[in-house]
Structure 1
Amino acid sequence: MRTHQIPSGLLPSHRALYYGGGWHKPIRGLYAETINPAYNEAICEVPVASSEDVDAAVQAAHQAFSAWAATTPTARGRLLRQAADVLRQHAQELALLDSLNNGNPVSILAHDANFAADGIDYFAGLATEIKGQTIPMGDQNLNYTIREPLGVVARIVAYNHPLMFAALRIAAPLAAGNTVVVKSPDQAPLSILRLAELIGGIFPPGVVNFLCGTRECGEALTQHPLVRKITLIGGVPTGKAVMKNAADDLKPVLLELGGKNALVAYPDADREKLVQGIVNGMNFTWSGQSCGSTSRVFLHESIHDDVLADVAALLASKHKPGIPTDPETTMGSLVSAAQLEKVQGFVRTALDEGARLVTGGKQPDNANLKDGFFFEPTIFADVDASMHLAREEVFGPILSVFKWNDEEQLWRDVNAVKFGLTGSIWTTSLATAHRAARRIETGYVWINNTSQHFMGAPFGGIKNSGIGREECFEELLEFTYTKNVNLKLD
Structure 2
Amino acid sequence: MTHPHLPTSSETAAEAFRKSPVTGRMLIGGELVESSGGAWIECVNPATEDYIGKVPKATEADVQQAVEAAEKAQVGWAEMPMQERSNCLNRLADAFTRHADELLMLEVADSGNAITSMKPDLANCVERLRYYAGLGFELQGHTIPGTSDKLHLTLREPYGVVGRIIAFNHPIAMAVHGMASPLIAGNTVVLKPSDQCPLSAVRLGEIAREVLPPGVLNVVTGDGSAGNAIVRHPRVKRLSFIGSVRTGMAIQRSAAEVAVKNISLELGGKNPFIVFPDAPVEKVADAAVAGMNLGLQGQSCGSTSRLFVHDAIYDAVVKAVAERYKALRVGDPFDWSTQMGALNTRAHLERVQQFVASAKSEGARLVAGGERPAGKTFEKGNWLQPTVFADVTPEMRVAREEIFGPVLSILRWSDVEEVIAMANSVEYGLTAAVWTSDITQALRTAKRLQSGFVWVNGVNSHVRAVPFGGYKNSGTGRERGIEELYSYTEEKSVQVFL
Give the TM-score normalised by the residue count of structure 1.
0.97
**AA aligned opposite 1:404:** W
Alignment of 1:208-287 (within 5 A): 208-248=217-257, 249-287=259-297
**AA aligned opposite 1:401:** I
Greater Cα shift, 382-391 or 129-138:
129-138
Q: Secondary structure of the equivalent of 1:37?
A: coil
* Paired residues of 1:32 and 1:47 also in contact (CA < 8 A): yes
Instruction: Decide whether aligned partners of structure 1 residues 165 and 193 sit closer, same or farther in structure 2, where only a CA change above 3 A counts.
Output: same
Report how far residue 430 of structure 1 moved. Answer: 1.2
Q: Among 28, 48, 56, which residue is 2:37 paired with?
A: 28
Q: CA RMSD in A?
A: 1.4
Q: Secondary structure of the equivalent of 2:374?
A: coil
For 1:47, the equivalent position in structure 2 comes to 56
Matched, 1:170 2:179: yes
* Paired residues of 1:106 and 1:327 also in contact (CA < 8 A): yes
Separation (CA, whole Å) in 2 of partners of 1:15 and 1:278:
38
For 1:441, the equivalent position in structure 2 comes to 450
Matched, 1:323 2:350: no
Separation (CA, whole Å) in 2 of partners of 1:392 and 1:200:
41
Instruction: Decide whether aligned partners of structure 1 residues 307 and 178 sit closer, same or farther in structure 2, where only a CA change above 3 A counts.
Output: same
For 1:304, the equivalent position in structure 2 comes to 314
Residues 175-232 of structure 1 show CA distances to partners (whole Å, capped at 9, x for unaligned) of 1000001101010110001111122321111001111100110000000111111111
Give the TM-score normalised by the residue count of structure 2.
0.95
Greater Cα shift, 117-126 or 251-260:
117-126
Separation (CA, whole Å) in 1 of partners of 2:478 and 2:356:
33
For 1:186, the equivalent position in structure 2 comes to 195
**AA aligned opposite 1:220:** A
* Paired residues of 2:17 and 2:52 also in contact (CA < 8 A): no
Separation (CA, whole Å) in 2 of partners of 1:265 and 1:31:
48
For 2:95, the equivalent position in structure 1 comes to 86
Q: Among 49, 72, 76, which residue is 2:81 paired with?
A: 72
Report how far residue 7 of structure 1 moved. Answer: 5.4
* Paired residues of 2:325 and 2:388 also in contact (CA < 8 A): no
Separation (CA, whole Å) in 2 of partners of 1:157 and 1:10:
27
Q: Secondary structure of the equivalent of 2:440?
A: helix
* Paired residues of 1:425 and 1:433 also in contact (CA < 8 A): yes
Q: Among 102, 110, 120, which residue is 2:119 paired with?
A: 110
* Paired residues of 2:28 and 2:69 also in contact (CA < 8 A): yes
Matched, 1:391 2:400: yes
Residues 7-51 of structure 1 show CA distances to partners (whole Å, capped at 9, x for unaligned) of 599865x52210111111211111121111111221122111110
Separation (CA, whole Å) in 2 of partners of 1:9 and 1:221:
35
**AA aligned opposite 2:137:** T
* Paired residues of 2:329 and 2:337 also in contact (CA < 8 A): no
Alignment of 1:336-351 (within 5 A): 336-351=345-360
Instruction: Decide whether aligned partners of structure 1 residues 332 and 27 sit closer, same or farther in structure 2, where only a CA change above 3 A counts.
Output: same
**AA aligned opposite 1:126:** L
Q: Percent identity?
A: 42
* Paired residues of 1:222 and 1:245 also in contact (CA < 8 A): yes
For 1:375, the equivalent position in structure 2 comes to 384
**AA aligned opposite 1:281:** G
For 2:419, the equivalent position in structure 1 comes to 410
Matched, 1:59 2:40: no
* Paired residues of 2:20 and 2:52 also in contact (CA < 8 A): no
Separation (CA, whole Å) in 1 of partners of 2:282 and 2:336:
27
Alignment of 1:139-154 (within 5 A): 139-154=148-163
Which consecutive unaligned segments of at least 5 residues does structure 1 have? none
Greater Cα shift, 289-298 or 27-36:
27-36
* Paired residues of 1:200 and 1:209 also in contact (CA < 8 A): no
Report how far residue 120 of structure 1 moved. Answer: 1.3
**AA aligned opposite 2:434:** I
* Paired residues of 1:230 and 1:246 also in contact (CA < 8 A): no
Separation (CA, whole Å) in 2 of partners of 1:467 and 1:186:
24
